[in-house]
Amino acid sequence: MLQCGVYCLLLLLVAGCARRGEKDGGGGASKVGREDTPALASPLAGAARSSSSSSRKQLLFIGTSLTAGLGLEPDSAYPQLVQQKIDAASLPFDVTNAGVSGETTSGLEARLEWLLRGNFDVVVLESGANDGLRGIPVDGMRRNLVEIISRIRREHPNARVVLVQMEAPPNMGRQYTVAFHEAFPSVAKETGVTLLPFLLDGVAGKPALNQGDGMHPNQRGEHIVADNVWRALEPLLREVTGGTPTTGAGAKPSP
């Protein structure tokens, strides 16, 4: 279990994100693969772009304000930083950031049809933090995550899905926070997806790595978040492109 202090700074995430979420709208996806690539109105645009270069694969990040990059410059959110690492590693992936601030798992389920219209080869799913902040029953959140992954699999059976471990704040009590923590490995085991470590590992609870709200990483912290994701994601991307399968540090591969 992570220390209580790690969770405390997440307590006001919903309040801090709600206004931004309204501005993001229903889709909330933007292409970040190349400097000359404009924001997308739909993941379909990414599919059309990829069709012109069959060697390029698509990596879709779905998430909350932590994925959207609330409070950061457009090129500083961790999916954009992961794109930089992808390019440096000469891997053939273009990243689309579909983070929406303030979103719960039920909200994601409601907009999933729109997201599934695009083409993608790997999906990174970061969801659930706002469920915990609102005290939504863990069983309901868990069912939503399973259904989201199941729908992705039905529409895109060849896509690899990666679930990010999230944590609940302690104000709901130990029973809730323990159940919340355990829901993610349980969902990963049931659905056979890869589980990544806690997104904010090494960042949460450290003022120097967070913005003034104490909840969202600043530019320095975001680089650590990107490193967390990249250590676990890089081996999977290499496997998808036909490289030697390996296990990323901290990642739990599909059974």
Query: What domains does the chain contain, in order, with CATH numbers?
Result: 4-240 (3.40.50.1110)
Mean pLDDT of 31-51: 42
Q: Are 136 and 73 in contact (CB under 8 A)?
A: no
Is 167 in a helix, a strand, or coil? coil
Q: For residue 95, what is the enclosing H or E element?
A: strand 93-99
The identity of residue 104, as a single letter, is T
pLDDT category at 1 given cuts 50, 70, 90 is: very low
Residue 65 annotated in active site: yes
Residue 156 annotated in active site: no
Is the model more confident about 205 or about 125?
125
Catalytic member of 42, 213, 227, 254: 213
Catalytic member of 30, 50, 65, 101: 65
Half-sphere exposure of 60 (CA within 13 A, CB side): 29
Query: Across the chain, how many H-helices and E-strands are there?
Result: 10, 6
**Mind listing the pLDDT tens digit for each residue in 77-123?**
999 999 999 999 999 999 999 999 999 999 999 999 999 999 999 99
pLDDT category at 172 given cuts 50, 70, 90 is: confident
- H-type helices in the chain, by residue range? 4-8, 13-24, 43-51, 65-68, 78-88, 105-115, 129-133, 138-155, 174-191, 219-240
Residue 213 annotated in active site: yes
pTM of the full structure: 0.80
Token pair of 92 as six digits? 């053939």
**Mind listing the pLDDT tens digit for each residue in 118-169?**
999 999 999 999 999 899 999 999 999 999 999 999 999 999 999 999 998 8
